[in-house]
């Protein structure tokens, strides 16, 4: 099901992110805070996907 969704989300205090196929896409910004959030969210998505299997 997750592969059917594509869109954008906004995290207050961090900024906007695009997602596709259940993962955040790499941000255009090279800000360390943004990159850290991007990495953390994708790691959590991987953990949730692994638990579901």
**Would you list the domain boundaries of the chain?**
2-52
Distance CA 39, CA 26 (A): 9
Instruction: Report residue 30's pLDDT band, with 50, 70 and 90 as the boundaries.
Output: confident
pTM: 0.76
Rama region for 33: left / alpha / beta (φ>0; ψ in -120 to 50; rest): alpha
- CB-based contact 23:42 (threshold 8 Å): yes
Q: What is the pLDDT of residue 18?
A: 94
Q: Calculate the average pLDDT of the chain.
A: 88
Q: What is the pLDDT of residue 19?
A: 92
Q: What is the pLDDT of residues 1-18, one digit of tens each?
A: 456 689 999 999 999 999
pLDDT, average across residues 19-26: 89
Q: What is the pLDDT of residue 21?
A: 86
């Amino acid at each position: 099901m997750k592969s059917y969704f594509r869109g954008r989300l906004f995290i207050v205090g961090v900024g906007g992110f695009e997602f596709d196929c259940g993962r955040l896409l790499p941000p255009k910004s090279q800000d360390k805070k943004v990159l850290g959030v991007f990495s953390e969210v994708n790691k959590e998505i991987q953990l949730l996907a692994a638990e579901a299997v």
